[in-house]
Structure 1
Amino acid sequence: MSEYLIIRGGRLLDAANRSAPFRDILVKDGAILEIGAPGLAAPPEAQLVDASRHLLHPGLVNGHTHGSGALTRGFRDRFNLELLLIATPARFANQTLEMKYLNTYLGAVEMAMKGCTVAYDLTFGLPVASIEELEVMGQAYRDAGIRAVMAPMLADISFYRGFPGLIESLPAHLQPLVGTDGGPSTERILALMAEALQKWPHDRDHVKLGIAPTIPLHCTDELMQGSDRLVREYDTVMQSHIGESKMQSVAALERYGKTMLAHVDDLGLLGPHFSVAHGIWLDDDDMRRLADKGASISHNAGSNMRLGSGIADSRRMLQLGVNVAIGTDGATSSDNQNMYEAMRAAAQVSYVRQPDHRLWLTAPEIVDAATRGGAQMAGFHHVGAIEVGKRADIVFLALDHPNWMPINDPANQLVFAEDATAVRHVMVDGDFIVRDGRHVKADLAALSVQAEAARDTLLEVNAADIERVGKLEEAVMDFCRGLSMQSYRVERYAAFPCGCGPAASGFVADAPA
């Protein structure tokens, strides 16, 4: 095959200018060599790709997902974050190596087919995944053809120990059902991560190993700082769930005497390598700390609504200079891995935060977050845009699809009209991973059979644990609701529960721009 590729006849999205001019793209060895008007000169041996009647945009970057969740999509209605944290470990347990590969591969193939070429995956862990598991899940991304940060979730404090008073609040007959064993020591977790980073076999331009101390409340300071040392030593990235729910934010204020983000900053963790997942309950000081240190936030608006966690102030994040990405979250909490839906949700929730439409997110801002912003956060500086020098990670949208009839404003239509059904081809490094709407390698029929079998097996082997957790749910949620009803320094709910609104709580609005 020729080392040159010439893509002709396509319309190249220019979201900032709300246009899509006709452009030819010359690719050499998977990198974009030149972009020019139709008729761009190319070597005679260049492979021709006909992009006529297609809109071309950069591969989308999923700023936050969990590759562990594909087998549990859609299993629960009215499911908030704390319910997820106590219920899903029982369903995730006892997975074989093959099952963990399957989870990851299913999500990666779905993302590829829906125009996403990079995923920031906070994958299996809790307390830690094995080196073999991490390498196999990394291979799942290589096999699916998309890039990823594989960041295993780490914890050395259980969910129940992470909230002082929770266990004691439970009825006496339920307290023995609470699992509080800590698992491997902090030192063992960090040693295993160091070994995995040292031995990582995959091409870091495609799949690199990061670290994800899952939620600071469930990590000792030693684990947080040890993770940071490894991230800096091995020049990789870190992400943590911070400010995702009001309950966690209230508990952090009680524990640390400051916000969760301020505590993490005081530990010395913030920097360009660090990103926050969700960031709903951050205040202005939190956001300024992130901006000052060059850190990022993955804004996961669809999942934030699905779990009832609140509405993040994405406009304020941008006003204060935080780099913002867009994420779907995992299939357990968002049910699919569709970045087009995630972009639309990010737009729409910004509208219901305030009546001043001048402060709502614009379509170009959202497209930028879902491409360049995500690539910056992931440390993948070679992707995120269709520009000379970047890798040729390109999505081809069919313009003969109803979503694009007619083209009025391509930036608006990408955010509000596109739903992944117009995705015709997806290219990574100049090679097609999706062609004519089909993943070039995945056997979807076989995957369906495997997924059904894996689900049935997991329900059978985890039945006793699922039943045990079910007995705890009501009492645990009583405690969680109590924390969530307390006043906090910002408010992120669309409507205030009776008795805890602004007047009742002494809530003070966020500072103006």
Structure 2
Amino acid sequence: MSIVIRGATVLAMGGPNGSTPFLGDVHVEGDRIKAIGADLPLPEGATVIDGSGKLVMPGLINAHLHSGEALFKSRYDNLPLELWMLYAYPILGAKALSERMIYLRSMVVAIESLKTGVTCLTDDIFEAPRQSLAQLGAAVSAYDDAGIRATVSGHVMDRDFLDSIPFSREHVSAELQAEVAKLTPPTTEEYLAFAKEAYAQFHGRSGRIRFMLAPSAPQRCTPELMQAVNALALEWQVPFHTHIVETKVQGVTGPAMYGKSLMRYMADLGLMHPGTTIAHSIWVSPDDIALMGEAGVSVVHNTISNQKLGAGVAPVRQLLSAGVNVALGSDGISTNDTPRMFDVMHACGLIHKVTTPDYSQWLSSAEVLHACTLAGARSALIGHETGSLEAGKKADLLVINLDTVCFTPRHDILNHLVYSENGSSIEKVMVNGEIVVDNGRLTKIDEKALLAELRSLMPAFNDYHSGVEAANRAFAPAFDAIHRRCNQVDLGIHRLVGTSDMWPA
């Protein structure tokens, strides 16, 4: 099937034009872009889309999210990460969700993502108490049915959770420690078996679904697990996706537990390389940044989530200058409350203007858009397939109406995209050469029926989860004390989250 978008403003974000818009045509053949240029020949039988007054650009890429939090959208506020996790990622009392609930939960993410221009996402999926293949399959089926491109994982931890939090043995009661000790995390062998079966079942489905390896964080996983899954990631050429130094507590964790930063710890284990994608990277030192640049890692900057949790602001300019590939992510649908990447771009464009008075170091709209397109694709190791509009790449693109209020009066289109647009000007979303959103309507699923079904199930879920929250509230005083204690430690790193004298000793 041929589709030709004729006479549009094209923002390729790659190729000879880069981030400079130009007038031209885009020819899609099957699932790929066949040609881009002015006055392209029209193949016989091709569907023609009038591009006058339209912008054609790559679909946005959400390089880090947790769909499991979609059931907690707008449930929590004013909690730092370590206390918020008690309720969104409970230590005690959680039971396995049904496959149907996971399917509907994933659909909430897919629907909002596609309607607001996200054509590709990386979903680090955690299931309590541990993930089954059937549960992962439910999420994959939702993404497959909706038509989005997705890289999915089985998020894994294999250490006692309390051993991943500094000073927890001093602050958590012996009774609660004993309850946590009863939990049995998966062994390295169990997770490897799971990952191999998941890769065999899901990787490559529909040409849009990929599987990745996702050890939660270096302090939450044993070296044996991380090194074993890293070997698989390198063999399969999929991301080794993890979280490092999101909060001040985690900044303290490396020195407290290993006598070195968590970045240095990862490097010493041989886990820093171009296939490594690190979510957050806030509490990093200049030495850490140099290590990351030398290794060629990717970092996913989760601007809004980090602000909502009071975690700090990642040093994006320094990371870019060191040669780190910086992508953008929404992070979880509870610490951001939406997977909308236009919102993330807007926040990213703004927040770094207050990190230094040297305005020559502020991020440009072109850099923000690059982070949300081609850099995001590179973080998922699919930059050769998507993230920019170039002949031979997958046809993942947006058709945006330039005659809306968001682009009126029209000045710099890149600035409009970062600071004025919110997704409401999108007319068509194409993934893998297929139009999956047309004038606000998803073409492959019944959005209204799916959302109604999930709403009907939420009262029972909320009753259950309220009990889980009550059980885990017993940890709150100890975690509050740990949060306060760690935030008094001077790491010599300032990340716009207050000062070491925030609380009295």
2:88 maps to a residue whose letter is T
1:400 to 390, 393, 403: 403
Give the alignment of 1:350-365 within 5 angstroms.
Answer: 350-365=352-367
Aligned to 2:271, the other structure's residue is in SS state coil
1:127 shift after superposition: 6.4
Give the alignment of 1:417-432 within 5 angstroms.
Answer: 417-432=420-435
* Maintained 8 Å contact 1:105/1:140: yes
Question: Cα distance 1:339–1:407, how it changes in 2: closer, same or farther (>3 A)?
Answer: same
Does residue 1:228 correspond to 2:223, yes or no?
Answer: no
Instruction: Give aligned-pair identity as a percent.
Output: 32
Q: What's the RMSD between the two structures over aligned residues?
A: 2.2
Deviations 1:185-223 (A, max 9, x none): 232122222232234364374111101111211111111
1:280 shift after superposition: 0.7
Does residue 1:470 correspond to 2:473, yes or no?
Answer: yes
Aligned to 2:338, the other structure's residue is in SS state coil
Which stretch shows the higher mean deviation, 208-217 or 82-91? 82-91
Give the corresponding residue for 2:374. Answer: 372
Aligned to 1:334, the other structure's residue is in SS state coil
Give the corresponding residue for 2:487. Answer: 484
Give the corresponding residue for 2:61. Answer: 61
Does residue 1:5 correspond to 2:6, yes or no?
Answer: no
1:85 shift after superposition: 1.8
Give the corresponding residue for 2:293. Answer: 291
1:226 shift after superposition: 1.3
2:490 maps to a residue whose letter is S
1:250 to 249, 252, 260: 252
Give the corresponding residue for 1:445. Answer: 448
Give the alignment of 1:13-28 within 5 angstroms.
Answer: 13=11, 19-28=20-29
1:383 to 383, 386, 389: 386
Give the corresponding residue for 1:436. Answer: 439
1:309 shift after superposition: 0.3
* Maintained 8 Å contact 1:68/1:123: yes
Give the alignment of 1:26-425 within 5 angstroms.
Answer: 26-37=27-38, 39-90=39-90, 93-125=95-127, 128-171=130-173, 175=177, 178=180, 181-200=183-202, 202-203=204-205, 205-380=207-382, 381-425=384-428
- Equivalenced residues, count: 499
Question: Cα distance 1:201–1:323, how it changes in 2: closer, same or farther (>3 A)?
Answer: closer
Q: Give the distance between the partners of 1:300 and 1:330, measured in 2 at CA.
A: 9
Aligned to 1:324, the other structure's residue is in SS state strand
Question: Cα distance 1:239–1:204, how it changes in 2: closer, same or farther (>3 A)?
Answer: farther
1:494 shift after superposition: 4.3
| TM-score normalised by L of structure 1 | 0.92
1:465 shift after superposition: 2.4
Which stretch shows the higher mean deviation, 261-270 or 464-473? 464-473
1:255 shift after superposition: 0.9
* Maintained 8 Å contact 1:126/1:155: no
1:173 shift after superposition: 6.3
Q: Give the distance between the partners of 1:57 and 1:297, measured in 2 at CA.
A: 23
Aligned to 1:325, the other structure's residue is in SS state strand
Deviations 1:18-67 (A, max 9, x none): 64322111121221111112x32121221112222211110011011011
1:431 maps to a residue whose letter is E
1:159 maps to a residue whose letter is F
Which structure 2 residue ranges, 5 or more long, are not aligned? none
1:145 maps to a residue whose letter is G
Which structure 1 residue ranges, 5 or more long, are not aligned? 505-513
* Maintained 8 Å contact 1:138/1:202: no
1:259 shift after superposition: 0.8
Aligned to 1:451, the other structure's residue is in SS state helix
Deviations 1:136-166 (A, max 9, x none): 2112111111111102210011322222531
* Maintained 8 Å contact 1:8/1:50: yes
* Maintained 8 Å contact 1:135/1:201: no
1:289 shift after superposition: 1.9
1:489 shift after superposition: 3.5
1:132 shift after superposition: 1.9
Which stretch shows the higher mean deviation, 235-244 or 166-175? 166-175
* Maintained 8 Å contact 1:127/1:184: no
| TM-score normalised by L of structure 2 | 0.94
1:95 shift after superposition: 1.0
Aligned to 1:385, the other structure's residue is in SS state coil
Question: Cα distance 1:499–1:135, how it changes in 2: closer, same or farther (>3 A)?
Answer: closer
Q: Give the distance between the partners of 2:198 and 2:116, measured in 1 at CA.
A: 30
Q: Give the distance between the partners of 1:127 and 1:94, measured in 2 at CA.
A: 6
Question: Cα distance 1:192–1:231, how it changes in 2: closer, same or farther (>3 A)?
Answer: same
